[in-house]
């Protein structure tokens, strides 16, 4: 804020920043560093052979592939949901809006067993899909379904505020220049939503890659087929292969850190775009 | 005032702004198609799982439902879940206030790095959040030998569960308070100090009343995740029935024993907690006029 700023500094800086850094180091940073320190017990070639073992590679393919697919599906339906919530009025809208965050609030284990009950061969939806030859539960498709569920809020909640703040003048200008509604949406509105859509996609993807609870019940967990990477870590731990578990965890952590930086960049872009779009 | 909008969201009066404007609305047929498709997706992916939890829980009737809830191991799991949240939430509350005070009310180098580091736990897979404590406190971990010499158990015991719960919920309160306190600025605190208040008086009489709803918002979200956490807790729990099982772990054990009705009975309590969380969250959002934003996003 421009103007005269009192030179006085608010008290408590040393205490608050000191406590913040101390607490964060104790709970998060030092324990996380253990992953890299423990991984260093392996020689580079040993590390490489652990993290590129066929069963581990198959788990990356499933985890990243299913996460990409689920995030892409969430971009489409998340955009439609955000559009519906911002632009249309209909009965029950407030309840729908509040329930969008259910995947956050509902514990993942609960979501996992509920989705399995729905999509199992004798389940509410599964019993209609199975005769058609579509098996969802205990297949990679089940993994995608669980990851769609947990990713729903991210796209909706990143697009919603941007769509809400979007100036109608742009659409009015396009319409007055003779654009059809579809042209206006495609050429004017969607480009302005692009940063938010991409941010939501990246968040849904990043969350899906690390997801465990909602997936393991519905996945079937067959090695090479429906085994996600976090489960590989658990399996190795149960076999007391701590170094192996840690090596795979180190790979996941590096991917997560990269995604975190990408998301931070995207959010900065969204904020800039949003400001200039007003 | 980025991040904190002053108008109410989700109101139908707001949508009318677009619906009445011929330049900003779709033909009625397209509008209803979009509403239908998005509501079908909403029903299939969000409502159906919620419905499934309660219908499966009550499949064997209210009597069986009640018996599943008062079963001693189930009660023990509820007690442990409450204990873990009762420790993790207040600690992360204090952390959130300290972090927000440092970041929102002061200028210093490395602020953005600190904000990113606070967000880290949301980027880390819950499984890794559990694994790190095994590497530090496990039998072969850094402090393993020392701990076993002194007969202290951390992992595969209650302290490990509490630590893992703290880890996954670290950012919640801080994340809600930082934008709120940044938007509120520093003038009110500066005025209080000029008028002779001490730092603590300024915090308790000026800052705290200003942030109370944001604080409650963060606490509600933090609590929901603390009580519902599964992956991180699963890694460090010993899976000992009646001793180191939280409610989500109890759900898993019952489910894997094919005791579906009991698993869904315990799960239904967690689903109720989720619904209560969403109700409180929505009420606070209306009060604060808070923009919708992704929660717990990596």
- Convert the pLDDT of each residue in A239-249 to its tens digit: 999 999 999 99
Report the greatest alpha carbon distance in chain B: 76
Q: Which phi-psi region, left, alpha or beta, contains residue B5 (left: φ > 0; alpha: ψ -120 to 50)?
A: beta
Q: Do B270 and A115 touch (CB under 8 A)?
A: no
Nearest by CB to A107, from B41, B120, B248: name it. Answer: B248
Q: Do A161 and B293 touch (CB under 8 A)?
A: yes
Q: Do A9 and B106 touch (CB under 8 A)?
A: yes
pLDDT reported for residue A276: 60
With CA atoms as reference, report the closest residue to A155 among A35, A272, A71. Answer: A71
- Residue B271, pLDDT above cutoff 80: yes
pLDDT-derived band at A8 (thresholds 50, 70, 90) equals: low
B264 interface with A at CB cutoff 8 Å: yes
- Residue A273, pLDDT above cutoff 80: no
Q: Do B98 and A15 touch (CB under 8 A)?
A: yes
Within 8 A of B26 by CB-CB distance, chain A residues are 181, 185
Q: Does residue A6 contact residue B190 with C-beta atoms inside 8 Å? A: yes
Helical residues (DSSP H) of B60-207, grouped into ranges: 61-70, 72-105, 111-123, 126-137, 144-149, 158-169, 171-184, 187-194, 199-202
- The encoded tokens of residue B65 equal 């439902």
Q: Does residue B223 contact residue B181 with C-beta atoms inside 8 Å? A: no
In chain A, % of residues over pLDDT 90: 83
pLDDT reported for residue A207: 96
| Residues contacting B116, CB < 8 A, separation 6+ | A260, A264
| Residues contacting B137, CB < 8 A, separation 6+ | B143, B144, B147, B154, B155, B160, B163
Nearest by CB to A83, from B34, B227, B273: name it. Answer: B34
- The encoded tokens of residue B281 equal 């969250």
Q: Do B5 and A181 touch (CB under 8 A)?
A: no
Task: Give the 3-state secondary structure of residue B6.
Answer: coil
* Nearest-neighbour CA in chain B from A155: distance (Å): 8
Q: Does residue B84 contact residue B226 with C-beta atoms inside 8 Å? A: yes
Separation CA B272–CA B50 (nearest Å): 10
pLDDT-derived band at A270 (thresholds 50, 70, 90) equals: confident
Within 8 A of B298 by CB-CB distance, chain A residues are 203, 206-207, 210, 256, 259-260, 263
CA distances from residue A165 to A60, A197, A211 in whole angstroms, order as listed: 39, 15, 32
Q: Do B15 and A87 touch (CB under 8 A)?
A: yes
CA angle B96, B207, B220 (to 5 degrees): 40
- The encoded tokens of residue A122 equal 């004798």
| Residues contacting B223, CB < 8 A, separation 6+ | B85, B89, B277
* pTM, rounded to two decimals: 0.93
Separation CA A140–CA A220 (nearest Å): 8
Report CA torsion sign: A262, A268, A269, A270: positive
- Residue B125, pLDDT above cutoff 60: yes
Looking up tokens 């779009």, which residue turns up? A277
* Nearest-neighbour CA in chain B from A179: distance (Å): 10
With CA atoms as reference, report the closest residue to B85 among B229, B235, B197. Answer: B229
Separation CA A272–CA A196 (nearest Å): 11
* Nearest-neighbour CA in chain B from A225: distance (Å): 20
| Residues contacting B110, CB < 8 A, separation 6+ | none
pLDDT reported for residue A168: 87
Q: Do A12 and B291 touch (CB under 8 A)?
A: no
Within 8 A of B25 by CB-CB distance, chain A residues are 87, 181
Separation CA A46–CA A49 (nearest Å): 5
- Residue A1, pLDDT above cutoff 60: no
Model-level ipTM above the cut of 0.90: yes
Q: Cβ atoms within 10 A of the Cβ of B287, count?
A: 12
| Residues contacting B253, CB < 8 A, separation 6+ | B239, B241, B245
Q: Do A107 and B274 touch (CB under 8 A)?
A: yes
pLDDT reported for residue B64: 94
B47 interface with A at CB cutoff 8 Å: yes
Nearest by CB to A206, from B15, B123, B138: name it. Answer: B123
Q: Which residue of B lies nearest to A264 if distances are taken between CA atoms?
A: B116
Q: Does residue A115 contact residue A37 with C-beta atoms inside 8 Å? A: no
> Using a CB cutoff of 8 Å and minimum separation of 24, what contacts does A81-84 make?
A81/A152, A81/A156, A81/B38, A81/B41, A81/B42, A82/A155, A82/A156, A82/A159, A82/A160, A82/A163, A83/A163, A83/B34, A83/B38, A84/B34, A84/B35, A84/B38, A84/B39
CB pairs under 8 A between A and B: 353
Looking up tokens 């995740």, which residue turns up? B225
Q: Does residue B285 contact residue B218 with C-beta atoms inside 8 Å? A: no
- Residue B8, pLDDT above cutoff 60: no
B116 interface with A at CB cutoff 8 Å: yes
Residue-wise pLDDT for A56-65, tens only, equals: 999 999 999 9
- The encoded tokens of residue A33 equal 């560093």
Q: Do B125 and A84 touch (CB under 8 A)?
A: no
- Residue B236, pLDDT above cutoff 70: yes
Residue-wise pLDDT for B95-117, tens only, equals: 999 999 999 999 999 999 999 99
| Range of weakest confidence among A183-197, A263-277, B49-63, B82-96 | A263-277
Q: Do A27 and B163 touch (CB under 8 A)?
A: yes
Within 8 A of B256 by CB-CB distance, chain A residues are none
pLDDT reported for residue A151: 97
| Residues contacting A128, CB < 8 A, separation 6+ | none
- pLDDT mean across residues, chain B: 92
| Residues contacting B248, CB < 8 A, separation 6+ | A107, A108, A109, A110, A213, B81, B228, B229, B230, B233, B234, B270
Separation CA B245–CA B79 (nearest Å): 10
Q: Rounded to the nearest 10 degrees, how much is the dihedral formed by the CA atoms of B179, B216, B9, A259?
A: 50
Q: Does residue A142 contact residue A66 with C-beta atoms inside 8 Å? A: no
Residue-wise pLDDT for B159-207, tens only, equals: 999 999 999 999 999 999 999 999 999 999 999 999 999 999 999 999 9
B171 interface with A at CB cutoff 8 Å: no
Report CA torsion sign: B167, B172, B178, B179: positive
Which DSSP category does A90 fall into? -
Task: Give the 3-state secondary structure of residue B227.
Answer: helix
Q: Do A242 and B224 touch (CB under 8 A)?
A: no
- The encoded tokens of residue A142 equal 């089940």
Task: Give the 3-state secondary structure of residue A9.
Answer: coil
pLDDT reported for residue B238: 81
pLDDT reported for residue B5: 40
Q: Which residue of A lies nearest to B50 if distances are taken between CA atoms?
A: A114
Separation CA A197–CA A266 (nearest Å): 10
Q: Do A89 and B292 touch (CB under 8 A)?
A: no
pLDDT reported for residue B243: 86
pLDDT reported for residue B51: 97
Q: Which residue of A lies nearest to B189 if distances are taken between CA atoms?
A: A10
Within 8 A of A263 by CB-CB distance, chain B residues are 297-298
Q: Do A246 and B135 touch (CB under 8 A)?
A: yes
Within 8 A of A19 by CB-CB distance, chain B residues are 94-95, 98
pLDDT reported for residue B13: 55
- Residue B87, pLDDT above cutoff 70: yes
Separation CA B298–CA B122 (nearest Å): 5
pLDDT-derived band at A271 (thresholds 50, 70, 90) equals: confident
| Range of weakest confidence among A8-12, A34-38, A137-141, B161-165 | A8-12
Q: Does residue A110 contact residue A215 with C-beta atoms inside 8 Å? A: no
- pLDDT mean across residues, chain A: 92
Nearest by CB to B131, from A89, A117, A246: name it. Answer: A246
pLDDT reported for residue A269: 87
* Nearest-neighbour CA in chain B from A52: distance (Å): 19
pLDDT reported for residue B17: 82
pLDDT-derived band at B15 (thresholds 50, 70, 90) equals: confident
């Amino acid at each position: 804020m421009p103007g005269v700023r009192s030179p006085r500094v608010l008290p408590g800086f040393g205490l608050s920043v000191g406590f913040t850094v101390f607490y964060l180091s104790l709970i998060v940073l030092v324990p996380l560093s253990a992953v890299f320190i423990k991984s260093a017990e392996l020689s580079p070639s040993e590390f490489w052979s652990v993290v590129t073992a066929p069963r581990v590679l198959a788990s990356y393919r499933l985890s990243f592939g299913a996460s990409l697919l689920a995030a892409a599906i969430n971009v489409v339906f998340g955009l439609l949901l955000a559009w519906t919530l911002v632009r249309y009025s209909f009965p029950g809208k407030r309840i729908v809006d509040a329930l969008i965050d259910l995947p956050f609030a509902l514990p993942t284990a609960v979501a996992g067993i509920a989705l399995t009950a729905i999509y199992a061969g004798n389940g509410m939806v599964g019993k209609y899909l199975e005769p058609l030859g579509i098996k969802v539960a205990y297949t990679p498709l089940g993994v995608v379904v669980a990851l769609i569920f947990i990713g729903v809020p991210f796209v909706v909640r990143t697009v919603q505020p941007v769509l809400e703040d979007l100036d109608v003048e742009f659409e009015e200008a396009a319409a007055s220049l003779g654009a059809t509604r579809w042209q206006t949406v495609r050429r004017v509105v969607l480009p302005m939503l692009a940063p938010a859509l991409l941010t939501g996609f990246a968040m849904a993807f990043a969350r899906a890659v690390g997801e465990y609870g909602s997936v393991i019940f519905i996945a079937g967990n067959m090695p090479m087929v429906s085994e996600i990477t976090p489960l590989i870590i658990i399996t190795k731990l149960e076999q007391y292969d701590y170094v192996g578990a840690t090596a795979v965890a180190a790979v996941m952590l590096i991917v997560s850190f990269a995604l975190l930086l990408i998301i931070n960049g995207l959010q900065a872009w969204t904020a800039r775009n949003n400001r200039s779009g007003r | 005032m980025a991040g904190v909008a002053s108008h109410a969201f989700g109101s139908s009066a707001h949508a009318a702004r677009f619906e009445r404007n011929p330049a900003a609305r779709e033909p009625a047929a397209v509008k209803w198609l979009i509403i239908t498709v998005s509501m079908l997706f909403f029903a299939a992916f969000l409502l159906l799982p919620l419905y499934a939890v309660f219908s499966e829980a009550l499949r064997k009737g209210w009597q069986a439902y009640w018996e599943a809830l008062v079963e001693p191991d189930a009660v023990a799991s509820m007690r442990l879940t409450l204990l873990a949240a009762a420790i993790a939430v207040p600690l992360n509350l204090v952390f959130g206030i300290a972090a927000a005070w440092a970041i929102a009310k002061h200028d210093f180098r490395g602020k953005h790095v600190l904000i990113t580091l606070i967000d880290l736990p949301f980027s880390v897979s819950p499984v890794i959040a559990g694994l790190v404590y095994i590497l530090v406190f496990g039998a072969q971990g850094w402090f393993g030998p020392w701990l076993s010499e002194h007969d202290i158990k951390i992992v595969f015991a209650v302290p490990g569960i509490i630590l893992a719960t703290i880890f996954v919920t670290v950012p919640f309160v801080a994340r809600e308070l930082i934008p709120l306190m940044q938007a509120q600025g520093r003038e009110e605190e500066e005025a209080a100090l000029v008028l002779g208040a001490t730092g603590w008086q300024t915090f308790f009489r000026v800052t705290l009343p200003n942030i109370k709803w944001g604080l409650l918002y963060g606490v509600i979200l933090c609590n929901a995740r603390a009580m519902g956490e599964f992956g991180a807790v699963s890694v460090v729990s010993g899976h000992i029935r009646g001793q180191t099982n939280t409610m989500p772990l109890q759900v898993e054990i019952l489910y894997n024993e094919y005791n579906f009705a009991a698993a869904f009975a315990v799960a239904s309590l967690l689903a109720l907690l989720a619904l209560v969380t969403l109700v409180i969250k929505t009420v606070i959002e209306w009060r604060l006029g808070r923009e919708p934003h992704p929660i717990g996003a990596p």
